[in-house]
A and B are shown apart, each in its own frame.
Chain A
């Protein structure tokens, strides 16, 4: 199956700093990527939809200026948590929609990033 690589898997940053998380589709083009946040023992909450070459679409209640999303190429989307605070500590997961010669409705997920803000 298609592979999505998310980096880093874990990151600890100081309060007030910014941290960037990368999501790469390794063997396919992804015109659309999705960013989720998952709190402990809870479901995945969609934060934003990232479309290559255009502005991301954010879900209601998600701060655009805090969670900057860039989808500069067909294989890379980045999520930057700006001026991070302890309440931003969470597990962040990206997924990519497959774009290829055959249609596949499946979403392919990265390994996730555990962000801890101290």
Chain B
């Protein structure tokens, strides 16, 4: 079974600075998807960024980028120019690319609570 580990329960950063959230995962599969989700106080899950395992290029979405190291099974999220609205719980998640029934479920890490200091 796949597992996802976020070793940083809490992180804080000064507004406008850069912060990196860590995520490692364990899988025997070669094809899969990785995601970072944000959960603000409203508790609505919001997709921040996704990465396909077959792509070598790291995904970027505006101020958000990832460092995907497939061999090391590492998938960190970098937030540049941090803003107060970035404060939230961030979850790393894994999804198999297999079409076997039940394989498409998301496996979540424990989460990292990010605080932005003004």
Contact = CB atoms under 8 A, between A and B. Distances in A.
Classify the secondary structure of A's interface with B.
strand
B44 A109 contact: yes
B35 A106 contact: yes
Classify the secondary structure of B's interface with A.
loop
A49 B45 contact: no
B104 A32 contact: yes
Given A57-B102, A112-B43, A105 B97 contact: yes
> How big is the A interface, by class?
20 to 34
Interface string B99-110: 001101110111
A91 B43 contact: yes
A116 B52 CA distance: 38
Given A32-B104, A49-B102, A51-B101, A109 B45 contact: yes
B1 to A, nearest CB: 11
Interface string B24-55: 00000000010100000011110100101000
Interface of A: 32, 34, 38, 41-44, 46, 49, 51, 57, 91, 93, 95, 97, 105-107, 109, 111-112
Identify the 7 closest CB pairs spanning chains A and B, nearest first. A109-B45, A105-B33, A43-B108, A112-B43, A44-B108, A43-B110, A43-B111
